[in-house]
Structure 1
Amino acid sequence: MEQITLEGVLSHAVLDSISNFWFRHLEDDHVIVPGIEDATPWFSQSDAYDQECLDKFGALLELMKLIQPSSADIIAAAKPCTPLHWISLIILLDQLPRNCFRDAKTGIVFTLFDKLALEVATQALKLNIPAEEQVRFKLVYRFWFYMPMEHSERLEVQESLTKAHSDMWHDYEMLLEESVDRWDSTLAQYRAVLMGRKDSFEQFRSTMQGICESKKDILYRFGRFPQRNDALGRSSTLEEIKWLKES
């Protein structure tokens, strides 16, 4: 019987299938500047969408649960060679487990997959992948590089996230402010889309900033995310219990 290996299940074709599935609903202009509504499939719980994720990628996640690979093992097996390959790995580790392991199964998201996702994303950042032309000014791709940081309970990671987001927003502000004459034809196209969808951009940015600030406030207050306590077998303090009831 042929042995199943990480290399065999993390081919470039598999990575392409992840990004094709995850971004399938987006129009070209919305890849550059998404609207809040574009994020609905990802961040609004849907039994039908969860089932699709399970059908397509559940077996791969179960294999990872079984073999408990390191992030280095995953990167070596997948051999990501494009920014979208890196994004697919991050989505596989950071997002798809949230669709596939809900309720009583959620603990594995925090104990295994979030750690792997953060390490893979950190490596992508070390390689400066978000600055590559394929993703730098395509917001719907770029913000995924930072999502694993958003899920971390470590305050220093959250502070690094604030800096990473600041750098990202600065790129877009520069694109808004500079003359088209300064850019090549591709960047001029990105700028034209950004100018035409400026309201959507501002709404998306404001929403992201609000969510991240809220999470950071929770960590400053409790030192952890109390909503994870049950899944992780942690006892909640009285203050956390009160907050959970009010949230």
Structure 2
Amino acid sequence: MATDLYIPPQAKPLLDQWCGDGLTRHWPSEPRDKLWFGFDPEQDEELRHRYGALVDEALAGGLADWADSPLGRLALVLLLDQLPRNLFRRQARAFAGDARAQALTHAAVASGEDERLAVVARVFLYMPLVHAESLPLQDEAVRCFERLREQAPAFCHATLDENLRYARLHRDIVARFGRFPHRNDALGRKSTAEELAFLKDGPRFGQ
């Protein structure tokens, strides 16, 4: 875990809000599941107010220099992968940053940069792979979470078991359909009969 990594000044408020004290102790001491995984219009609006301009800049290809440091890269990944899912729920724009986020994550993993980060940072650095409509990237996501589980301190294991379960669930959906059926409406894609049956009870992951 690196506690002395450079953080771009504009990125610090986002990292503080998203990770709390987790960047220095591996996992936040205060629960953050509502922020990370909740479906709350008021929370979405607050995130839009605070970070909407940065999200727009990142989706337009900006803030490339943030990737020059591990925590800057993490913040850029959050702007591209996590925040659009809050700001643009059930819209195509929710997924507009996915390809760039996946490339940033893949580069960090390939260089070993990810292993310099705290557990909570690595969880969200790997999320673009979990969100990928690509079976090779899904397989990489599962490998990343398996490795993180092996390397993490014991107090993080129960949480990471859940992360790994969800990574495998995402991988299984892409293995079955080649894509995520819950995105079809937002992306203007026609669902197959099998996908429609799946969507009656299948997960939508907040979308």
**In the alignment, is residue 108 of structure 1 matched against residue 93 of structure 2?**
yes
Question: Which of 232-241 and 211-220 deviates more?
Answer: 211-220
CA contact (8 A) 2:78 2:124 kept: yes
The residue aligned with 1:234 is 189
How far apart, CA to CA, are the structure 2 residues paired with 1:34 and 1:20?
A: 10
Cα distance change on mapping 1:226 and 1:80 into 2, 3 Å: same
Q: Is there any run of 5+ residues in structure 1 with no aligned partner, and where?
A: 1-10, 173-193
Instruction: Calculate the TM-score normalised by the size of structure 1.
Output: 0.71
- Within 5 Å, which residues of 2 pair with 1:81-160? 81=69, 83-103=70-90, 106-110=91-95, 112-132=96-116, 135=117, 138-160=118-140
Q: CA deviation at 1:12?
A: 1.8
1:222 maps to which of 177, 184, 205: 177
The residue aligned with 2:150 is 170
CA contact (8 A) 2:92 2:186 kept: yes
SS at the partner of 1:95? Answer: helix
Cα distance change on mapping 1:203 and 1:36 into 2, 3 Å: farther
The residue aligned with 1:19 is 15
The residue aligned with 2:205 is none
CA contact (8 A) 1:12 1:80 kept: no
Name the structure, 1 or 2, with higher relative contact order (CA <8 Å, separation 6+). Answer: 1
SS at the partner of 2:68? Answer: coil
CA contact (8 A) 1:36 1:204 kept: no
1:204 maps to which of 149, 159, 165: 159
How many percent identity over aligned positions?
29
Aligned residues: 196
How far apart, CA to CA, are the structure 2 residues paired with 1:57 and 1:218?
A: 31
**Structure that is richer in helix per residue:** 1
Q: Give the AA of the match of 1:107.
A: A
Q: Which of the pair has more CA radius of gyration?
A: 1
SS at the partner of 2:32? Answer: helix
Q: Give the AA of the match of 1:116.
A: R
How far apart, CA to CA, are the structure 1 residues paired with 2:54 and 2:30?
A: 29
Q: CA deviation at 1:141?
A: 1.5
How far apart, CA to CA, are the structure 2 residues paired with 1:49 and 1:124?
A: 30
Q: Is there any run of 5+ residues in structure 2 with no aligned partner, and where?
A: 1-6, 203-207
Instruction: Calculate the TM-score normalised by the size of structure 2.
Output: 0.84
